[in-house]
Amino acid sequence: MKRLFIITAVLLAAFSCKSAYETLLESNDTEAKYQAAFDFFSQGKYTKASQLFESLSYITNGTARDDTVQYYWGLSNYRAKDYITAETNFQNFTRNFPRSPFAENAEFLRLDCLFRETLRYELDQTPTYKCLTAIHEYLINHPDTEYRDVCDHMLDDLEERLDRKAYEAAYLYYKMEDYKAARVALRNVLKDDAENRYREEILYYTAMASYNYANMSVKAKQKERFLVFYDDYFNFVGEYPESPRRAELDRIYKKAKEKY
């Protein structure tokens, strides 16, 4: 009996410890919940704060506290590093409370969530395009934002990923020694985006691809194909006369000219 009493006491103590928070979570005591939510938030217990703010959102809907509760619900998820949920929170917030004093902050934090959800350049870039669109819209709506530098950094990072993905996809043909396809793919990268930040590499491998393709061709077609290489060579040296890659192109240009 004594042992059963001890076990029961321990279970009751454990239950009471656990139920204190759960009871508050399920209650309709707005003031207690509101105070507890901010207490948990200030203590860095963001998951508990988020759950309380979510619960409060149903009670405070349409009241003066509505935007505060909704904003801190999103901010709690953001601080808890649940960026997917936080992004949804902030998106809903900016749609429902466009004139709230928290509105611009919420809009920016949504961008940050989107940015954190983007993937390395080798992977699917759909999240990157979504984030780029959101950043541009934000800058249109807030041209004087204090977050301009952060947004510019995000844009630079995302655009670099897209540039690299395009370049690497075309360069793969070169690595596979499919030089005809490589030249076409590399040229298409610049056709789609002349300002690609890998432009020097693209023009270099375009010339290298056309040289290798000509050099590996049957003799009857070499002269015509080396003429294509000469065009690619002059395109490169015209744009990047001081490039360290020029030495290699100069060498094979001289070698080609000795033949034709």
Tens of pLDDT, residues 9-45: 433 444 455 668 888 898 888 999 999 999 999 999 9
pTM: 0.83
Q: How many angstroms separate the first and last alpha carbons of the chain?
A: 105
Q: What percent of the chain has pLDDT over 90?
A: 88
**pLDDT bracket for residue 63 (50, 70, 90):** very high
What pLDDT score does 12 carry? 47
Does 252 or 8 have the greater pLDDT score? 252
Q: Is the Cβ–Cβ distance between 106 and 141 less than 8 Å? A: no
Is the predicted pLDDT of residue 6 greater than 50, yes or no?
Answer: no
What pLDDT score does 259 carry? 82
How does DSSP classify residue 143? T
Taking the C-alpha atoms of residue 133 and residue 41, their distance in angstroms, rounded to an integer, is: 31
What pLDDT score does 18 carry? 60
What pLDDT score does 229 carry? 98
What pLDDT score does 26 carry? 86
Mean pLDDT in residue range 133-153: 96
The pair of three-digit structure tokens given for residue 92, joined into one six-digit string: 């809903």
Q: How does the average pLDDT of the chain come out, rounded?
A: 92
Taking the C-alpha atoms of residue 190 and residue 193, their distance in angstroms, rounded to an integer, is: 5
Does 47 or 2 have the greater pLDDT score? 47
Taking the C-alpha atoms of residue 1 and residue 84, their distance in angstroms, rounded to an integer, is: 51
What pLDDT score does 9 carry? 41
